[in-house]
Structure 1
């Protein structure tokens, strides 16, 4: 059996009048006219079929039924107000909670965060790392940076930059080739593989027509891309690099791109926000800053 609820706006007006026991004060708190308050009370009394207020010469008083009803209604509105305040307080807390994955955090976000803090010292950024896609109903975060095809339900998306990949190795590793040996021979040696990006080598080899050159290559796997690239830095072999994540290594010359033939995949890096999100200055300034930094990466 469905429960019966009175019209909620008249009920809210009654709760204010019952608390103040004054129509004029109630009208001022609700920012409406006194006659509007009277109409709402009359509508509630009509629905309930009882008199809730006694109109007297010097104001209004609650009837016995009205007082009994108010005794139960007022705590309910207090609970609603308390719950609403909690939600709004959590939404407006000074900490900006950002979720992403380890490689993006270590290789792209952290090197740029000092600039954000210099521009917005009042915004504290709390970064958490996880591989599964964010669920804003489940995960206590304001924003997420995700890698994928962009087909996620109930979110707003901003494209940061596409996934561009190509082989990378240390300069010393390339120089270790015997004189006169083609750099293509590197593809038959040890290839370094990241666990979460196991198809990168096959994608690049197929896209550049070099799959047959790597058929006999040894594969060495690592749990993350960061460890895979560290292995390349230390001369263990050649890895597939994500161009956007390795700008610092390319500029320093600690990693090089022997083929200089990047390919772009259909997936990309996105900034993800809840489909419905209360306006927050800290979210807006971080989003604007992040998009500006991503634009520099794509330049």
Structure 2
């Protein structure tokens, strides 16, 4: 193979699309077969080859009634550019294959991971054994320019600029506690009765109790000292241990509510304009695997 090494000067390179079309037509010896490979019409192939011939100032094909044949110049030119297109195809295949083999990186909240996603991951592995998923937890909103992740699940209104978002489910909240706490304390008949118990707060969800109480027609006493925990996971554990009443997310506490280890002293859920969304950067390169994860998440939500 001859490599065109020379002085570092600007080299005359033809328009790449006509060049690609010519290489394909020369390889097939047919405008029609080239059109089929490229997904265009036969006249479009003919026009692109004519553009290249005009640029080069030579005839590359003999166009005859019996068919299409390369001219001498066309044959030499095709043999010299074909290795370059093979190298491009091989490099592209290697890059795409390596990316497909790499795990898809997903950022989620620790509570979402532990209480919702974790128990569903075996189903993802069963449905898509070829899909490798690597998760990381973070509280801060995802920044695809900064964070080395392919997608994220985060809480909000879904209007994040520079991201494509798909709604999963609403952020619904209601009070939860250990049944033992209620058995040993004052009766709870109204929302205001909850204020007679310690209220457990999560640092990153400080509006939960005030919003719920306001919607229920009650308000926290100014003198009431909140018990603050650094995460929802720890807040829920404190509720399980009987330290007080937490503002819980039923979607995250399905197991505890079903088993009865947590109960709702006042069954009055509040749904605000917040929800969990699957978010990805626009024009993501790995659309096929992103779509698999997105569709699987929607199936899990629909299944309840």
TM range (shorter): 0.7 to 0.9
Structure 1 contact 189–217 (Cα < 8 Å) conserved: no
2:264 is the counterpart of 1:257 = yes
2:18 is the counterpart of 1:10 = yes
How far is the alpha carbon of 1:160 from its aligned partner? Answer: 1.5
Calculate the TM-score normalised by the size of structure 2: 0.73
Structure 1 contact 165–240 (Cα < 8 Å) conserved: yes
Q: Distance in 2 between matches of 1:247 and 1:37?
A: 60
Q: Which of 171, 184, 195 is 2:203 aligned to?
A: 195
2:238 is the counterpart of 1:231 = yes
Map 1:155-174 onto structure 2 (within 5 A).
155-174=163-182
Q: Distance in 2 between matches of 1:44 and 1:206?
A: 72
Q: CA 1:200/1:24 → structure 2, altered by over 3 Å: closer, same or farther? A: closer
Unpaired stretches in structure 1, ≥5 consecutive residues: 18-22
Q: Give the structure 1 partner of residue 253 of structure 2.
A: 246
Aligned residues: 281
Q: Give the structure 2 partner of residue 204 of structure 1.
A: 212
How far is the alpha carbon of 1:243 from its aligned partner? Answer: 1.4
SS of the residue aligned with 2:224?
coil
Q: Give the structure 2 partner of residue 267 of structure 1.
A: 274
Q: Which of 107, 111, 115 is 1:103 aligned to?
A: 111
Q: Give the structure 2 partner of residue 20 of structure 1.
A: none
Structure 1 contact 26–37 (Cα < 8 Å) conserved: no
CA RMSD across the alignment: 4.0
How far is the alpha carbon of 1:285 from its aligned partner? Answer: 4.2
Structure 2 contact 156–274 (Cα < 8 Å) conserved: yes
SS of the residue aligned with 2:133?
strand
Q: Give the structure 2 partner of residue 293 of structure 1.
A: 300
Unpaired stretches in structure 2, ≥5 consecutive residues: 1-10, 37-41, 63-68
Structure 1 contact 27–37 (Cα < 8 Å) conserved: no
Calculate the TM-score normalised by the size of structure 1: 0.74
